Amino acid sequence: MSKEPVLTKKDCVKGAIRWSLMAVTTFNYDTQLAPAVVFGIGPLLRKIYPDDDDYVEALNNHFKYFNTHPWAANLVFGATLALEDKEGISACDAVQNIKVSLMGPLAGIGDTLIWTLLPTIMGSIAGYMALEGNPVGVFLWLLTNLIFIGIRTQLMWIGYKEGTKLITKFGNRIAQITDAASVLGLTVVGALAATVVTAKTPLVFQMGEISMPLGDLLDKILPSMISVLAVWALYKLIGRKGMKVTTIILIVIVFSMICSALGILA
Amino acid sequence: MTLSALQIILLILVAAEINLDRRGLSLTHARPAIVGFLCGLILGDMNSGLYIGGTFTLMSLGVAALGGSSVPDYGVATIIACAFAKTTGQGPEVGMTIGLPVGMLGVQMDVLYKICNSFIAQKAQKYANERQFNKMYRILYLCPVMVAVFMSLPTAIALTAGAPLVQAILDVLPAWVTGGLSLAGKLLPGLGIAMLLHYMPAKKYFNYILIGFVLSAYLNMPVLGIALLGLALAYKFYMDNEARANVGFAGGLEDE
């Protein structure tokens, strides 16, 4: 179900700016950055889907959980927009799977390079110079950030162009690619389930002379047990009939306060 | 020495700006050295501003908020430290010991605004389904407003009522409230992953979740390595499907 693509470079730059300004400010515990995705690329989706029904379906698709490095995210949106622009609303599942399978790796690269390495380099320069009362390091840091802002406005368009090339190549195999992408996505989700919850137990297991931190004991049975149990319990809660996400968040807060008071988790 | 009303307003605006910037634009990114420079301009004491900013920058290196976790707000700590270094007249060191607890309150504020955002996001999606698209876009502007209000609140309280009040609030709050909110901040990111499992064919392809989990939990493999392996699995899966489709097609022809 191919259609004529409508998005231009101008649209993509606009989308990148809208997304970049909103980004993590919309962070919420059920869909994380999804509202910013809708805010950022919503106008572009409107251009792709003049029909209200399709537009609503596309919006709902992008209201699903999404979180990755906010700078690199532009590439993902560019690529999925290229797909939607070419294939229309039938590409929704493929879009969702591509977003999920790319967000883990891009977060990994972005968190290492951009959130850790860049501040370490620029921070130690600016920090040591500042201690001597010299603001030049601060100016350098601002300048670096300014350059990156410029680059970020272009990333969505780069993703769009590269995405278009890939789609022309694999265009008639969308269904198979969607399935394969969900394999990749679920592998990454499995990895995230082990690391996403960082709570630890401070309890110490006492038996006569021997004392052992309960956390170590749990890790011997199953590493990342607390994280997996938390994800599993939340998964089950979401599956319950009539259970709202808001209710689950409140349950978690009350549960956290009880566990914190009893010293079970921290 | 006291601060003028204009200085207090500017400092509160800086607290709001750096917290918005850190989550979006990323120009100042709440980096203490940059914040210290701004405070130096506002307070007319560049040396203290840079010294405090530099110290907090070096302290905060390697402390990045990754994957939705909450970390002390070093930017706000810098603002408060600069302000109280000036008002107490006792220099940067005293300022910093007052600033850091106020920055710590940022962890709780971070969890609170993220909880408020859940309601905003749900409302926005409801508007989308009712086809009130303008309303959908408009309500999303509340998210940055929440960030600005919540994250500048500790600064506003400390600057208007004095940092001792913030310390007193921290002392009065029972440990189960502060500890509970921090713990909720650690548990709740799991909710997103749980939602994801509901959208995706998790039951059908349970085996791949298991593979990703084992690599991460037992082998501590970084997510990029796991994704590459996932790519290999996806490629194999795709090729197998392709082969099966071709066989099916050929078989169909023979039946004719």
Q: What is the mean pLDDT of each run of 10 residues along chain A (266 residues)?
A: 86 97 93 96 96 96 93 94 92 89 78 76 85 92 96 95 81 74 86 86 82 86 92 91 81 91 88
Give yes or no: residues B32 and B59 share one domain: yes
Residue A265: per-residue pLDDT: 87
Residue A124: per-residue pLDDT: 78
Question: Is residue B100 in a domain?
Answer: yes
B223: tokens are 């997510």
Residue B254: per-residue pLDDT: 44
Question: Is residue B126 in a domain?
Answer: no
Residue B9: per-residue pLDDT: 96
Inter-residue contact B62 to A116 (CB < 8 Å): yes
Give yes or no: residues B180 and B209 share one domain: no
Inter-residue contact A86 to A49 (CB < 8 Å): no
CA distance B173 to B47: 35
Domain count, chain B: 2
The CB-based long-range contact list for B38-46 (8 Å cut-off, 24+ gap) reads: B38/B14, B39/B11, B39/B14, B39/B78, B39/B79, B39/B82, B39/B83, B40/B82, B42/B7, B42/B10, B42/B11, B42/B14, B43/B3, B43/B7, B43/B82, B43/B83, B43/B86, B45/B82, B45/B85, B45/B86, B46/A133, B46/A135
Question: Is residue B123 in a domain?
Answer: no
Residue in A28, A231, A256 nearest the CB of B183: A256
Cβ <8 Å between B143 and A179 = no
B6: tokens are 């204009």
Domain final residue, candidates B184, B211, B240: B184
Give yes or no: residues B217 and B99 share one domain: no
Question: Is residue B113 in a domain?
Answer: no
Cβ <8 Å between A199 and B180 = no
Residue in B143, B188, B196 nearest the CB of A35: B143
The beta-strand segments (E) located in B23-148 are none
Give yes or no: residues B208 and B101 share one domain: no
Cβ <8 Å between A138 and B53 = yes
Question: Is residue B112 in a domain?
Answer: no
Give yes or no: residues B248 and B166 share one domain: no
Q: What are the chain B neighbours of A104 within 8 Å (beta carbons)?
A: 223, 226-227
Show the 3-state SS of A77-145. Answer: HHHHHHHHHHHHHHHHHHHHHHHHHHHHHHHHHHHHHHHHHHHHHHHHHHHHHHHCCCCHHHHHHHHHH
Give yes or no: residues B178 and B213 share one domain: no
Residue B190: per-residue pLDDT: 85
Mutate to test the interface with B, among A179, A183, A225 (most CBs of B within 10 A): A183
The percentage of chain A sitting over the pLDDT mark of 70, rounded to a whole number, equals 98
Question: Is residue B130 in a domain?
Answer: no
A123: tokens are 């921070």
Question: How buried is residue B251: exposed, middle or buried, by Cβ count under 10 Å (0-12/13-18/19+)?
Answer: exposed
Give yes or no: residues B227 and B164 share one domain: no
SS3 (DSSP) at A66: strand
CA distance A199 to A217: 15
Question: Is residue B115 in a domain?
Answer: no
Residue B68: per-residue pLDDT: 52
Inter-residue contact B180 to A256 (CB < 8 Å): yes
Give the residue from B37, B30, B116 showing the smallest Cα distance to B74: B30
Give the residue from B94, B74, B72, B73 showing the smallest Cα distance to B83: B94
Quote the crossing angle between the two packed helices A118-131 and A136-170, to the nearest 10°.
170
Q: What are the chain A neighbours of B82 within 8 Å (beta carbons)?
A: none
Domain final residue, candidates B184, B211, B232: B184
Cβ <8 Å between B57 and A130 = yes
Instruction: Say which residues have a Cβ less than 8 Å from residue B149's Cβ, sequence separation at least 6.
Output: B16, B113
Cβ <8 Å between B57 and A127 = yes
Give yes or no: residues B206 and B99 share one domain: no
| Sequence letter at residue A225 | M
Cβ <8 Å between A38 and B136 = yes
Question: B234: domain range?
Answer: 200-255
Question: Is residue B189 in a domain?
Answer: no
Inter-residue contact A108 to B223 (CB < 8 Å): yes
- State CA B251 to chain mean position distance: 56
Give yes or no: residues B178 and B205 share one domain: no
Inter-residue contact B34 to A142 (CB < 8 Å): yes
Residue A171: per-residue pLDDT: 63
Give the residue from B91, B89, B36, B41 showing the smallest Cα distance to B59: B36
CA distance B165 to B161: 6
Residue A177: per-residue pLDDT: 77
Inter-residue contact B82 to B52 (CB < 8 Å): yes
Residue B119: per-residue pLDDT: 93
Give yes or no: residues B69 and B101 share one domain: yes
Give yes or no: residues B76 and B152 share one domain: yes
Angle at CA of residue A27, ends A26 and A30, nearest 5°:
115
Tens-digit pLDDT profile for residues B217-251:
999 988 778 888 999 999 999 899 888 877 755 54
Residue in A24, A133, A258 nearest the CB of B47: A133
SS3 (DSSP) at A63: coil
CA distance B41 to A155: 34
pLDDT along chain B (256 residues), means of 10: 91 96 93 95 94 86 56 88 88 82 85 93 96 96 96 93 75 81 83 81 91 93 86 91 72 44
Distance from CA of B234 to the nearest CA of A (A): 5
CA distance A75 to A161: 10
Give yes or no: residues B175 and B248 share one domain: no
* ipTM of the prediction greater than 0.85, yes or no: no
Instruction: Say which residues have a Cβ less than 8 Å from residue A33's Cβ, sequence separation at least 6.
Output: A23, A24, A26, A27, A66, A67, A68, A70, A73
CA distance B36 to A131: 11
Cβ <8 Å between B125 and A63 = yes
Residue B251: per-residue pLDDT: 47
Residue A102: per-residue pLDDT: 82
Residue in B27, B125, B201 nearest the CB of A60: B125
Burial state string for A28-39 with b = 16 or more CB within 10 A and e = fewer than 16: bbbbbbbbbbbb
B194 touches chain A (CB under 8 A): yes
